[in-house]
Amino acid sequence: MLKRLILATFACLTVACGSDINPAPKQTVMLASEPAQANVPANDDNCVAEASWFPHSQTPFPDGNTFNGKTNCAFHRWSWQMFLWLTQPVDGKPRFLKMQSPYDMLGIEDRESMLPRLTKSAHPRSMDEYLQAGTEGILIDQNGKAVYYSQYVNDEFVNFIEGKHPDNKINLTIPLNVQQFPADKSFPVNAIELKASWKILAPDEDTRNLYTMESSVFKLANKNGKIVVDDKSSMKVLLGLVGFHIAGVVKGHPEMIWATFEHQGNAPDVPADYDFSNPTTAVSKDNFTFYKANTPYSGCNINPANSPVLKLDQDKQTLTPVTQMCRRYALGNDANQTTMSVPTNIKVVTDLNKSVASQFKDAGVWSKYAEVGAIWFKGPNRLKPGMAIATDFEGDQQLLIGSLRLSNASIETFTQTQSTMYNCFRCHNTSQRFPDDTKLAPLKPMNLNISHAFMNIYFWSQTLQLQASAASTH
C-alpha cells in the first residue's frame, strides 16, 4: 500500500479531458520513434541515450560520484537514467514506491491516506507542508476531482538526516541539532528526493497508457464556509501518475539537479508563435487530460482556491470549476529568450527524448512519459547558505542553466508565469525560513534548506514536540 500521499501547496496543477488520456496529439515534449544511436558519443550536438539503459528492467543506477557535468547533455542524461531506474519494477511495483516519505522518518502514523491540501494551516496538529514552492492552489481535473501528491526520499537522504551516514553522524530529526549544524554542510552525493502527482481515475477511463495504483485519499468537506480536508474520512480510489519531480545530488552539484517528467497527454504547449496580445484564441484544437479542446490561453491555469467560485459537492467529492492546463514554456524554456544556452537546451531535451523513445522495448506505460526539462547551477560547488536565488545571475556570473522556465504543468500549474516562482530554484533556496506558527523556531540559512523535505522534517519535528508536551499536561 502506498503510504503518506499528500496534496502539496507548492504544486498547483490543472487537469482536463478525464477520459481522453490516450492518445494525445504530438507536442514538443512528446516522443517520436527514431533509429537508436546508442553507440554514438553523446554531446550537446547529439544527445542520445546509452544502450546500457535498456531494457528498462535493467537500467543501472546513475551514480553521482562518476558524474562528469561538462555539457547540458550530461545533466539531462542523468535525469533520464534516474527516471528509468526509479520506475523499474521491484517486487511488482516501481522502485520509488518502495522508498520512505518524510512522514515515515518521523514515525507519523496518521498519513496512510493521501492528504489533499487547499491552504496552509498554522495549526500544529495539521502536519501540513511548510513553505512549499508556489501559490496556494488546487488543481481540479475534468471530472471535478482534486489532484493529489506524494513525496519520497531515498536511503542516502534518510541516512544522512538520521545521522547514519559517513558524511554526518548527527540526528537532524532533532531541531536543536539542526540549529547547531554547520550551515555550509550539504547533502551527500546520491541523495535524492521525489514528488509525484496523481489523478483520480473514473471507472470508464482508458488506463492502458498510464501507470496506475490503488490508494486511499482523504476526503474534502464544507466547513464554516470553507473547503477543508477531512482527515478523519478517506476513500479508496484508482490513481494515475501524471507528473514526477526528481531532485538529486551529483558530484560538484550540491544544489541538486532538478528534473521533471510528465505524462505525454497532460496538456498542450502554448505555441512559440502564440499572439499573447490576443489571448482569447485557442491554444490547441485537441483534447488533453487536463485541457479541453479550443480553450483560449486566457482560460488556462486559473487558480480557483480561496475564490468564491470554488464549490464542493461533498457527497460526490467533486469540485467546480475545473482547471484548464496549458504548458506555457515547452521543454522548460522560453524560445524567445536571448540567453545563448536556451537553444542548446531545447535541442538537447528534444534529441534525448527521441533517443529514449527509440530504444524503449519493455517499458510499457513508462514509454508514455517524457522529460520536460532540468535545471542546475552553472559551474561546480556554488551552493552557499543564504542564497535567495531570485535571478538567473549571481553578480555578473550566470548562476542557473538548463531549463530556465522549468515547470511541471501538473505540479506548478499556477506559477508558470510568475517571475518569483517560474523555476525550481525560485523556491528551493538556502535562505532563512519562518513558519506560520510562531511557536516554532525558524530555520537558519543553511545549504540543507535547498530541500523542502528537510524543511518539513525540521518544522514537523517541532510540532510533534509541542503535541507531546501538551498531551503530558492533560
Q: Calculate mean pLDDT across residues 366-375.
A: 95
CA dihedral 34, 39, 44, 45 (to 10 degrees): -70
* pLDDT at residue 18 in the model: 29
CA 112 to chain CA centroid, nearest Å: 20
- Determine how many CB atoms are found less than 10 A away from the CB of residue 198: 27
pLDDT in tens, 101-142: 998 999 886 666 665 555 544 343 345 554 434 456 789 999
d(CA 443, CA 459): 8
Stated as kind and residue range, the H or E segment containing 77 is: helix 72-86
pLDDT in tens, 160-184: 999 999 999 999 999 999 999 999 9
- Does residue 338 surpass a pLDDT of 60? no
d(CA 409, CA 269): 10
Q: Dihedral sign, CA of 283, 285, 291, 292?
A: positive
For residue 181 the three cell numbers come to 549544524
* pLDDT at residue 23 in the model: 35
Q: Provide the residue type at 33 as one letter.
A: S
Higher-pLDDT residue of 450 and 396 is 450
Q: Bridge-partner residues for 454, per DSSP?
A: none
Q: Closest Cα to residue 355, out of 138, 34, 18, 86?
A: 34
* pLDDT at residue 116 in the model: 55
Packing angle between helix 72-86 and helix 341-359, nearest 10 degrees? Answer: 40
pTM: 0.88
* pLDDT at residue 129 in the model: 57
Using the 8-state DSSP alphabet, how is residue 270 labeled?
P
d(CA 261, CA 211): 13
Residue % of the chain over a pLDDT of 70: 82
Q: Dihedral sign, CA of 123, 129, 134, 136?
A: negative
- Does residue 51 surpass a pLDDT of 50? yes
* CA triple 262-267-273, angle to 5 deg: 115
pLDDT in tens, 419-470: 666 678 888 899 999 887 888 999 999 999 999 999 999 999 998 999 888 8
pLDDT in tens, 70-94: 999 999 999 999 999 999 999 999 9
* CA triple 61-63-66, angle to 5 deg: 145
* pLDDT at residue 112 in the model: 62
Residues 391, 374 contacting (CB under 8 angstroms): no
Residue count of the chain: 474
For the chain, how long is the longest CA-to-CA vector? 70
CA dihedral 18, 19, 21, 25 (to 10 degrees): -90
Q: In the block, which residue shows the cell 511557536?
A: 439
d(CA 334, CA 169): 44
Q: Closest Cα to residue 419, out of 385, 394, 392?
A: 392
For residue 3, report the phi and psi dihedrals to the nearest 5 degrees: -105, 150
3-state SS assignment for residue 248: strand
Higher-pLDDT residue of 408 and 41 is 408
Least confident of 50-59, 90-99, 124-133, 320-329: 124-133
Higher-pLDDT residue of 144 and 469 is 144
* pLDDT at residue 293 in the model: 98
* pLDDT at residue 334 in the model: 77
* pLDDT at residue 22 in the model: 35
* pLDDT at residue 126 in the model: 45
Residue partners of 85: CB distance under 8 A and separation at least 6: 59, 60, 61, 62, 95
- Does residue 21 surpass a pLDDT of 80? no
Instruction: Supply the mean pLDDT for the chain.
Output: 84
